[in-house]
Amino acid sequence: MLSRRLVATARSVPLRRYQPRSLPLQLPQMMQHVRSYADKIVQVPQMAESISEGTLKQWSKQVGDFVEQDEEIATIETDKIDVAVNAPEAGTIKEFLVNEEDTVTVGQDIVKMELGGEKSSSSESKPAPEKNSEPESKPESKSESKPEPKKEAPKDDAPASKPAAPAKETSKPAPAPEKESATSAAPAFGSREERRVKMNRMRLRIAERLKQSQNTAASLTTFNEVDMSSLIEFRKLYRDDVLKKTGVKLGFMSAFSRACVLAMRDIPAVNASIEGPNGGDTIVYRDYVDISVAVATEKGLVTPVVRNTESLDMLGIEKAIADMGKKARDNKLTIEDMAGGTFTISNGGVFGSLMGTPIINLPQTAVLGLHAVKDRAVAINGKIEIRPMMYLALTYDHRLLDGREAVQFLVKVKEYIEDPRLEAGATALNDMSFNVPKNVPSFSNPQRQLEDRYWGASANSSRSYRGGNTGIFHGVQGRVEDLLGTKGQLPMYKDKPYAHHASRRFRPLWRRKRSILVTLLCFVTGLWFFGFFSEGSKARESATTWTGWLGVTEPTGKKVDWLKRRERVVEAFELSWDAYERYAWGYDEYHPIAKTGRQMAPKGLGWIIIDSLDTMMLMNLTSRLSHARQWLANDLTWDQDQDVNTFETTIRMMGGLLSAHYLSTEFPELAAIKDDDPGAPGEDLYLEKAKDLADRLMSAFDSPSGVPYASVNLATYKGIVSHADGGASSTAETTTLQLEFKYLAKLTGEKDFWDKVERVMKVVDDNGAQDGLVPIYLYATTGEFRGDNIRLGSRGDSYYEYLIKQYLQTNKQEPVYLEMWDEALAGVRKHLITYSKPSGFTVLGERPSGLNHELSPKMDHLVCFMPGTIALGATGGIPEAEARKLPTWNKKKDEDMKLARELMQTCWGMYKWMATGLAAEITYFNIDNPPASPSASHHPPKDFDPDPHAKWRQDFEVHSQDVHNLQRPETIESVFYMWRITGDIKYREWGWEMFKSFVNYTSVEDGGGFTSLSDANTIPPVTRDNLESFWMAETLKYFYLLFSPDDLLPMDKVVFNTEAHPLPRFDMGKLFSTGWQRKPRDANGKLIVEKKEEQKEQA
């Protein structure tokens, strides 16, 4: 210690500015260093996996300058992005170790700094030496000039001018510069000069890729022209209104993007690619569309990617394109922004291009070129008219795309742009990557479905509008709603974090008048219209006046009437249910703004009705429950030639029926008719319907491995392999069937139900996943994992949830599932937990490329099931205070509860960060690189400062394509668990604040109920015309239970399935057993492979 102080004194570093640290320095993102007393060597940071070197383009400081922590020192240019090198700590620059224009590699020493010290006044006014430059008499052309250096925001301590780079020491005379060459004598006709400028890295890379594309792809270009009249008229009428309401400028790119997505449903090869050695031998079809948008920058052409374009409406696309374009022009694009892409659109028209042949962006198959709009004479119905026309060019890879398909694709794009009403004829049952039989329901692949208003306007609509029973408005207003996707949406997979289309309330005058008329009629007809005479109901306010209580000052602490707050939840459910009952009864989907419904099967599947049964029982809404039961008895049939998703149908339909049976038999006071009333109409109705459905779903398990197929046909009893993801099933889906089938086996005594789902767990576990963390895809044919993507969000989440719940369901009689849960939770801590900066929130990230690759600081809203599940696993569902008294309580459970509390706070922060107080679908976090270890010290704030500039807000980041809120239940689910287990009143208060945000920002005018949001970060929010079934099945149920007494469904007596349907815990009895054992593992958790098996695998 003394020697360090002597060195510090010799270097004139004040001791008060330099103190030894007992902990390692916490460095900023991507910065590496080597510490030598008071000196620090700054190195080239880690930039990305695919980038190992770059060119040091510019020094932002000069020797002797004082720099603050995180202040930019230099800019490194790579072939993809520019990387800033920032000061790891405050100090003074002592020496540059490389020159500008030098090639540098990751980890190379570039700057020596002296730590500490103070900024001198002379450093502020000291002029920087001018850098040698070209004479002003030799101007550069734009294409030859070097890019402008990056500039920081003005600071008090900024240097007066750019510093000069140090010259390399050499004993040889400097060679003459090669930048310019002129003739020794000027010719008679004037001076002529030549200039040679070295290409920057980005342009070299672009040239390389373009040449590679020409040499690899069998490129061919087809042309067409499109009449832009309708689109121009659309923009003219609504551009100002949309800009004022949303801040989004409507352009052409969003309309063409949407048209391309629709056309890809019929020509999926446009969105495919070729992979494999020697030019490729495998075609990759995709059920999603990531559009690369060509953006011209000073350094060259870049193609940032708008991801999941199929799930965005025009406003979402325009916003995403604008955001990416700004980042490109500001030189702030990241590797992630440009990675991937399945199709490219290039708009040369902004520069005045009339015609061109774009080059394919490998490994994509096609690129669409847009051009300038020019008035031209065209023949319209035998007459010559002047119309605004645009030439379209589609360059495609003839190896994959035939000429007929390419021409058809371009024609479809043209037709959609010229007459948006034609989109009404585009069937949304055609999946992106394959042509599905037309009887496939919308939920068979809704993660990436092309959801739009037109499917909802089909003849299945319960309230179709005039005009051929299509629900299509004539004229521009109809086209606006069609293009913006304002009406029909499809239901979502529970575990898929992707969006429905937005819905702006662009309503014509006649609709506004109709709304007024309806309101008057409601007032005249009185209480009946709003269900005032419904059994068990109080007099209810209208949907408009009901929310008046939001602005009332409320009591706090012990004065809170939680039963009154629970009654508000009941009222919200009644508004939702009554709107569905009034406008879309019996339909599988409900669109509350359009007030229409739509079926997912010819006769309906009871998607909303069955999912809501147990919620109505808990809320004692007996008249509504009787109506629902009557529909089940008279109208519901499973005998339909319909493909259904195995997972979704099990957790929603089968789980809902089994839960209704359980509640109506064990708590008869909750049900108008018990499911076992002798002689009652529909005796054992819920159980009989569940058993019939289960018999049909069992065919999904008839795979070679026993892992269920993704879908099954209800009429043919045939399992269907997944059409996406290379034929692999979702790991979460295949392992989230066990609670339902095991309970049904217990009720019926049919052991086959039990054995089938138990076998799946053995197959999954026999793969020997590292540290209990399983990849998110699993082949039903072989039982082996596909890829290495590890995440607890979509496609992975409920695998972990059902591990601990299977253990609890059978009253802790199957310890193998507790062992698997403990192993997985330890793996989560080891590989997926880190902390955000600067505030230190706990982040549960992803490893998309496997456990040995970098951590992505991304959290789906779906991940927020984890805090409650961890607490459930630590306590078994009893209060924490009681669990701590048990002899089984240990340090590990202490740590588990600490992790549960920290993750719960992070999830609550995801809500607090958004303008509406409703969390985005996906949130990213600012973390160190490499990420902080799980054992690192972290102290997040206890409260969230409402100041919009509060420090904690720097930890969170939400991308423009992820701002939607789908009324998801995961956070309120965990809030409910944490309240029941910890007894901390703050969780109830968080839930009440969350509920008020839902009421305030998702309620629909004119008694439509509630809708999900397309943009939850603007006020007023952008709505989407869709009510998810889990809004009533899960979200409102958990709110209700949160505000209820603890003896309602005690958590040590029930388990909730992943759709929030309560099922009882039970003893296995003599008939059932686990029936399998885990393969032996070594001390590191790896499978111990016997020699015979190893030899067999090698062979």
Please tell me the predicted confidence (pLDDT) of residue 318.
Answer: 87
Question: Which CATH number fits the domain 25-125, given the four candidates 2.40.50.100, 1.10.1040.50, 3.90.1010.10, 2.40.10.220?
Answer: 2.40.50.100
Neighbours of 66 (CB within 10 A): 21
What residues form DSSP beta bridges with 1015? 1022
Residue with tokens 């945000």: 997
3-state class percentages of the chain: helix first, strand second, coil last, to nearest 5 = 40, 15, 45
Residue pair 1016/963 in contact (Cβ under 8 Å)? The answer is yes
201-418: CATH number = 3.30.559.10
Average pLDDT over residues 309-336: 81
pLDDT higher than 50, residue 976: yes
| CATH level 2 (architecture), domain 510-1064 | Alpha/alpha barrel (1.50)
Mark whether 921 is an active-site residue. Answer: yes
Using CA atoms, how far residue 598 sits from 446, 489, 632, 779, 1054, in Å, is 15, 9, 18, 33, 34
497-501, 835-839, 841-845, 1089-1093: least confidently modelled range? 497-501
| 540's tokens | 């209810």
Do 858 and 924 meet the contact criterion of CB atoms below 8 Å apart? yes
Residue 1058 assigned ligand-binding role? yes
Angle at 19 between CA 18 and CA 21, to 5 degrees: 130
Do residues 636 and 648 lie in contact, with contact meaning Cβ atoms separated by under 8 Å?
no
The segment with the largest mean pLDDT, out of 373-382, 718-727, 870-879, is 870-879
Q: In what order do the strands lie in the sheet with 39-43?
A: 33-36, 39-43, 109-115, 91-96, 66-67
* 140 annotated active-site: no
Report pLDDT digits (tens) over 144-197.
Answer: 334 444 444 444 443 444 444 444 444 444 444 444 444 445 455 667 888 887
Specify the pLDDT at position 552: 64
Instruction: Spell out where 257-362 has E strands.
Output: 273-275, 282-284, 291-293, 295-297, 300-302, 305-306, 343-347
Q: Are 345 and 370 in contact (CB under 8 A)?
A: yes
- Residue 654: which pLDDT band, with cuts at 50, 70 and 90? very high
When comparing pLDDT for 679 and 794, which is higher? Answer: 794
**Which is the catalytic residue, given 797, 823, 846, 880?**
797
* Measured CA angle at 731 (ends 726, 737), to 5 deg: 125
Instruction: Note the pLDDT of residue 16.
Output: 38
Query: Would you say the CATH fold of 510-1064 matches that of 201-418?
Result: no
Mean of pLDDT values over 473-491: 36
Look up residue 473 and give its two tokens.
């408005």
Q: Single out the catalytic residue among 415, 648, 814, 973.
A: 648
State percent of the chain over pLDDT 90: 52
Give whole-number Cα distances, 1090 to 763, 766, 1081, 1082, in Å: 18, 14, 11, 12
Q: How many residues does the chain have?
A: 1099
- Token digits of residue 434: 């394959």
Ramachandran area for residue 528 (φ above 0: left; ψ -120 to 50: alpha; else beta)? alpha
| pLDDT tens-digit map of 992-1027 | 999 999 999 999 988 899 999 999 999 999 999 999
CA–CA–CA angle 624, 626, 632 (5° rounding): 110
Distance of CA 412 to the CA centre of its chain: 29
What sign has the CA pseudo-torsion 414, 418, 424, 425?
A: negative
Catalytic residue among 970, 973, 1006, 1028: 970
Catalytic residue, chosen from 574, 733, 921, 955, is 921
**Residue 34 bridge partners (DSSP):** 41
Three-state SS at 726: helix
> Which stretch of 211-225, 326-340, 351-365, 781-795 has the lowest confidence by average pLDDT?
326-340
- The domain segmentation of the chain, as residue ranges, is 25-125, 201-418, 510-1064
User: Among this protein's residues, is 797 annotated catalytic?
Assistant: yes
Give backbone dihedrals phi and psi of 719, rounded to 5 degrees, phi first.
-75, 150
Mean pLDDT score, 636-651: 97
Verify cis geometry, omega within 30 degrees of 0, for the bond prior to 363: yes
Give the model's pLDDT for residue 1049.
96
Query: Strand pairing of 343-347 and 291-293?
Result: parallel
Averaged pLDDT score across all residues of the chain? 80
The Cα–Cα gap between 571 and 577 comes to: 10
d(CA 1038, CA 614): 12
Question: Mind listing the pLDDT tens digit for each residue in 563-589?
Answer: 999 999 999 999 999 999 999 999 999
Least confident of 157-171, 656-670, 717-731: 157-171
pLDDT digits (tens, 9 = 90+) for 436-468: 333 333 333 333 333 333 333 333 333 333 333
What confidence score (pLDDT) does residue 349 get? 86
Q: How far apart are CA 331 and CA 343, in angstroms?
A: 23
Residues 1033/611, Cβ–Cβ less than 8 Å: yes
Cis preceding-peptide flag for 1020 (omega within 30 of 0): yes
Beta carbons within 8 Å of 920's beta carbon, 6+ residues apart: 861, 910, 914, 958, 962, 963, 964, 965, 1016, 1017
Q: What is the pLDDT of residues 520-569, one digit of tens each?
A: 565 545 544 444 444 333 333 444 456 666 766 677 767 899 999 999 99
Q: Is 405 annotated in the active site? A: no
Identify the pLDDT of residue 335: 67
- The residue behind tokens 């147990």 is 614
**89-114 as b/e, with b when 16 or more CB fall inside 10 Å?**
bbbbbeebbbebebebebeeebbbbb
Question: What angle separates helix 985-1002 from helix 891-912, to the nearest 10 degrees?
Answer: 30
pLDDT of 301 > 50? The answer is yes
pLDDT at 478 over 50: no
Q: Does the reported pTM lie above 0.75?
A: no
Instruction: Determine which helix (DSSP H) or strand (DSSP E) holds 394, and give its type and residue range.
Output: strand 383-397
Q: How far is CA 834 from CA 827, 844, 855, in A?
A: 13, 7, 9
Higher pLDDT, 28 or 71: 71
- Tokens 């999904």: give the residue: 700
